[in-house]
């Protein structure tokens, strides 16, 4: 038994196969390929999943890819590039996988392909923007040593929050513009009157928050004035178009009066319902049916007084 253990300990599968890899490296390569194939299968599920299920499959795929990278890095440490060596630490790799999973979830939420109606799409995209902001902020906090010095001011929490607010205002303006797409023209243009103010507010906030980073010769005051004037003109134009479309809308035609049925002539006796009709037994010289005479009230046939 001890001899078998000694033989198994000295056995090298790579040397036997002649591929230049040790048994440990072959095992790590097989494990990495196994996890990578499962990750690709999960990514294929993303295309066919419905609703918010792509979020789950993206998270699974990112976790499997992170595991494959860790196993490959453990089996081939010399082949890992220098810029990726810090991510061979399991804790650091887990944080990177979490940030990537959040970005994938944000991408799915911003697509909002399952939502019905502009308002639902706007809320989903707003949640996606917030998720992307959280992912970027966490990544900047976890990997601050990897962020270049000139970009560190853009990864601060306040800056990321402001960027998310500006993008949310732009998405809100797009929602106002495409809302009531199947409704009447005056309703569509009435919703579009809110799009120019949202864009103007986003530009004014961008100048207020990030105007200090612009060159000194940049005409910030003139840009503010032009933004306000163009916003008012665009809003007034949309209101005028909405009012004109309301006045020119198609009105429903007045209902036509129904024709009354022609009255039944009173000269022709009408047999009561349920009484059997008389049967013609003979025809006269003109070809008309001879109807039997009705019995008199006293029970004797013939004219009255007979």
To 10 degrees, what angle do helices 53-75 and 23-48 make? 170
What rounded mean pLDDT belongs to the chain? 77
Q: Is the pLDDT at 18 greater than 70, yes or no?
A: no
Helices (H), the chain: 2-10, 13-17, 23-48, 53-75, 90-111, 118-142, 157-178, 185-192, 195-210, 220-247
Mean pLDDT of 215-244: 89
* Cα distance between residue 189 and residue 195, in whole Å: 10
- pLDDT band at 152, cuts 50/70/90? confident
Q: Give pLDDT, residue 1.
A: 43
DSSP 193-207: TTHHHHHHHHHHHHH
Reported as a single tens digit per residue, the pLDDT across 46-74 is 777 777 788 888 888 888 988 888 888 88
- pLDDT band at 250, cuts 50/70/90? confident
Mean pLDDT of 4-15: 51
Q: Give pLDDT, residue 229.
A: 93
Reported as a single tens digit per residue, the pLDDT across 121-141 is 778 888 888 888 888 888 877
Percent pLDDT > 70 in the chain is 75
Reported as a single tens digit per residue, the pLDDT across 92-108 is 888 888 888 888 888 88
H or E element in which residue 298 lies:
none
- pLDDT band at 4, cuts 50/70/90? very low
Q: Model-level pTM? A: 0.58
Q: Give pLDDT, residue 153.
A: 76
Q: Is the pLDDT at 88 greater than 50, yes or no?
A: yes
């Amino acid at each position: 038994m001890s001899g078998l253990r000694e033989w198994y300990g000295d056995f090298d599968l790579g040397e036997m196969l002649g591929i230049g890899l040790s048994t440990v490296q072959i095992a790590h390569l097989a494990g990495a390929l196994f996890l990578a194939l499962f990750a690709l299968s999960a990514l294929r599920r993303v295309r066919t999943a419905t609703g918010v299920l792509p979020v789950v499959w993206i998270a699974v795929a990112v976790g499997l890819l992170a595991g494959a990278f860790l196993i490959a890095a453990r089996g081939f440490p010399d082949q890992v590039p220098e810029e990726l060596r810090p991510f061979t630490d399991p804790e650091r790799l887990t944080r990177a996988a979490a940030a990537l999973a959040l970005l994938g979830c944000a991408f799915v939420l911003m697509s909002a392909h399952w939502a019905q109606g502009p308002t639902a799409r706007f809320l989903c995209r707003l949640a996606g923007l917030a998720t992307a902001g959280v992912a970027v902020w966490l990544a900047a906090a976890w990997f601050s040593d990897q962020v270049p010095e000139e970009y560190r001011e853009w990864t601060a929490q306040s800056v990321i929050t402001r960027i998310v607010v500006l993008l949310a205002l732009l998405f809100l303006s797009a929602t106002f513009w495409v809302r009531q797409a199947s409704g009447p023209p005056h309703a569509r243009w009435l919703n579009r009157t809110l799009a120019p103010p949202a864009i103007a507010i986003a530009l004014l906030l961008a100048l207020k928050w990030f105007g200090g980073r612009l060159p000194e010769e940049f005409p910030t005051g003139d840009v503010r004035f032009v933004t306000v004037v163009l916003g008012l003109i665009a809003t007034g134009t949309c209101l005028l178009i909405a009012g004109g479309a309301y006045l020119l809308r198609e009105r429903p035609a007045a209902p036509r009066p129904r024709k009354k049925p022609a009255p039944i002539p009173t000269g022709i006796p009408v047999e009561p319902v349920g009484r059997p009709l008389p049967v013609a037994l003979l025809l006269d010289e003109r070809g008309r049916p001879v109807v039997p005479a009705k019995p008199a009230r006293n029970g004797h046939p013939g004219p009255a007084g007979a």
